[in-house]
Structure 1
Amino acid sequence: MESTITKHERNLATIVHASSFSKFFIPFGNFIIPLVLWTANKKDYAFVDYNGKQVLNFQISLLLYSIVLGAISIPMFLGFFPELLNSSFLGLDHLNDYNNLNLDLSQGLNFGSWLFPLGIAGLAHGALFVVNIVYTILAVIRTNEGQEFSYPLTIKFLK
């Protein structure tokens, strides 16, 4: 496929990959801008069509992973949070009595604070951030060279 790809097609596919960095400037820009570029050029260029699907699948997968990670970390945080309030912090001594989760992890884990679940969730979100940056840069480089690139950890929403 490399021999039939024009420079213009490679540049368009590279811009589609690089446009996922727009999330740092525009909310949901990592979905909107690649989607607009992909839909505008997918019928004319097969290489842009393939790469547009790859970008969107990867960004949707990362969003899904972040939502699942957040949903998992909220109960952990709520289980540790009453322990913080039970230590007379802000004068809320008996707020732990209203904890219906009954998560008593303080015996096995003697960290004694709410930093443990936030630390785990923070590390996992940081890992997703690094994976996003590193693999998007790799995709931009490989696509500019005319090679097909497939992101890892991607669920194929668009086929």
Structure 2
Amino acid sequence: MEPVQETTVISGPSKEDRTYAMLLHLSQFAGYLIPFAGLIVPLVMWLLKKDENPYIDAQGKVVFNWIISAFIWGVICVILSFIVIGIFLLIALGICHVVFAIIGAIRANDGVIQDYPLTIKFFKV
């Protein structure tokens, strides 16, 4: 008879943590309703939970790496709009912002930490 091997089950983030992380990603859209809310709401959400939960902290870093990167890309697009190409790049950046936030929210709800494409890493995840 062979000895029974113990297996360690590593549980992922809880349902509440995954939902909170999903809302953290989606909170970027608050800026479409109230100016600067797309920056302030995710910041407050992240700061409230980052010390309590490493999963929320990592998701907050992903969101803020994107917010800072999108701002930088936006400034570059505005400068390039003087030679017309920037207008198209600004539209593409807006589409990317919406798509990346939705995909990030879906992945966060699945318990996955995934960086957005085109993101400059200011915070290490």
Pairwise TM-score range, normalised by the shorter structure: 0.7 to 0.9
Q: Please state if 1:136 is matched with 2:101.
A: yes
* Separation in structure 2 between the aligned mates of residue 134 and residue 73 of structure 1, nearest angstrom: 22
Identity of paired residues, percent? 36
Equivalent residue of 2:34, what SS?
coil
TM-score by length of structure 2 reads 0.85
Provide the TM-score with structure 1 as the length reference.
0.68
1:99-120 CA distance string (max 9 Å, x none): xxxxxxxxxxxxxxxxxx2xx2
Query: Which runs of at least 4 in structure 1 moved beyond 4 Å after TM superposition?
Result: none
Stretches of structure 1 lacking an aligned partner (at least 5 in a row): 77-116
Kindly provide the CA deviation profile for residues 71-130 of structure 1, in whole angstroms up to 9, marking residues without a partner as x.
2333x3xxxxxxxxxxxxxxxxxxxxxxxxxxxxxxxxxxxxxxxx2xx22211110011
Instruction: State the superposition RMSD in angstroms.
Output: 1.4
CA contact (8 A) 2:27 2:38 kept: yes
Q: Deviations over 1:6-27 (max 9, x none)?
A: 1111111111101001110111
The residue identity in structure 2 corresponding to 1:18 is L
**Amino acid of the structure 1 residue aligned with 2:55:** F
Kindly provide the amino acid, as one letter, of the partner of residue 20 in structure 2. Answer: L
Q: What residue identity is the alignment partner of 1:154?
A: T
How far did 1:157 drift? Answer: 1.7
Structure 2 distance, partners of 1:72, 1:26, is 27
3-state SS of paired residue (1:54)? helix
Are 2:21 and 1:56 equivalent residues in the alignment?
A: no
Matched with 2:111 is 146
Give 1 or 2 for the bigger CA radius of gyration: 1
Q: Distance in 2 between matches of 1:55 and 1:26?
A: 18
1:47 aligned counterpart, secondary structure: helix
Cα separation, 2, equivalents of 1:29 and 1:60: 14
Aligned residues: 115
**Structure 1 residue 66 and structure 2 residue 74: aligned?**
yes
